């Protein structure tokens, strides 16, 4: 099976809050595991959400969220995905998204967003923010594999970059 190409948010900025996500991109084989780390220095932003934009799919999918230390994963992501971290206290915030037994269908862009604490989850994924936040992320979209010659110059091709504005 060809390796998966996963790309991630390079930089996110939310009202002056710099969100860092590592790694910026990675190449994995089916069946592998991956850990993505999201961090920021805004101590009162104790709510982080993770999203996926699958390769070749225009739909943005919510994976789940972490509120302080409580994680919730959307049912559609099953038991292969997990979010962990501790967003409590007066310290820099770090949260991780873990995915195991990767499938080719998991290829795409993954990114996180941070905001002020929200209300607890209800049965619908719509929330009311205690503070409205607009984030702009630079996403890299691709469904190429490591044996694809275009992948070697992937990051130097401006037309492969897309800006997406998400309102949280």
CATH architecture of 4-167: Sandwich (2.60)
Q: Tell me what pLDDT residue 2 has.
A: 57
User: Mean of the pLDDT values across residues 77-104?
Assistant: 90
Q: Tell me what pLDDT residue 161 has.
A: 31
Q: Please state the pTM of the whole predicted model.
A: 0.64
How would residue 4 be classed by pLDDT, with cut points 50, 70 and 90? low
Alpha helices in the chain (DSSP H): 149-152
Q: What percent of the chain has pLDDT over 70?
A: 59
**Tokens representing 13?**
């900025």
Q: Tell me what pLDDT residue 21 has.
A: 82
Q: Tell me what pLDDT residue 142 has.
A: 36
Q: Which of 158, 100, 123, 136 is nearest to 18 (CA)?
A: 136
Backbone angles phi, psi at 76, to 5 degrees: -65, -15
| b/e 87-108 (16+ beta carbons within 10 angstroms → b) | beeeeebebbbebeebeeebbb
User: Mean of the pLDDT values across residues 3-22?
Assistant: 57
The three-state secondary structure class of 147 is coil
Q: Tell me what pLDDT residue 80 has.
A: 94
User: Mean of the pLDDT values across residues 36-65?
Assistant: 87
User: How many Cα atoms sit within 13 Å of 70 on the Cβ side?
Assistant: 6
Domain residue ranges of the chain, discontinuous segments joined by +? 4-167
The three-state secondary structure class of 137 is strand
Q: Which of 87, 82, 75, 67 is nearest to 127 (CA)?
A: 67
Q: Tell me what pLDDT residue 3 has.
A: 58
User: Mean of the pLDDT values across residues 68-83?
Assistant: 92
Residues 6+ apart with CB under 8 A from 85: 48, 66, 69, 71, 93, 94, 95, 96
Hey, which residues does 38 pair with through a beta bridge?
A: 21, 95
The yes-or-no verdict on residue 17 having pLDDT over 90 is no
């Amino acid at each position: 099976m060809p390796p998966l190409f996963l790309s991630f948010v390079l930089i996110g900025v939310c009202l002056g809050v710099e969100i860092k996500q590592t790694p910026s991109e990675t190449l994995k084989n089916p069946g592998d595991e991956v850990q993505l780390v999201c961090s920021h220095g805004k101590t009162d932003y104790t709510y982080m959400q993770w999203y996926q934009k699958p390769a070749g799919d225009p739909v943005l999918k919510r994976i789940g969220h972490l509120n302080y230390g409580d994680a919730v994963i959307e049912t559609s992501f099953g038991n292969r995905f997990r979010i962990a971290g501790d967003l409590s206290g007066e310290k820099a915030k770090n949260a991780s998204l873990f995915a195991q037994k990767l499938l080719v269908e998991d290829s795409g862009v993954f990114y996180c967003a941070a905001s002020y604490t929200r209300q607890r989850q209800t049965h619908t994924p719509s929330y009311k923010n205690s503070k409205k936040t607009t984030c702009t992320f630079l996403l890299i979209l691709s469904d190429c594999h490591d044996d694809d010659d275009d992948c070697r110059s992937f990051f130097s091709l401006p037309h492969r970059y897309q800006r997406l504005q998400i309102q949280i």
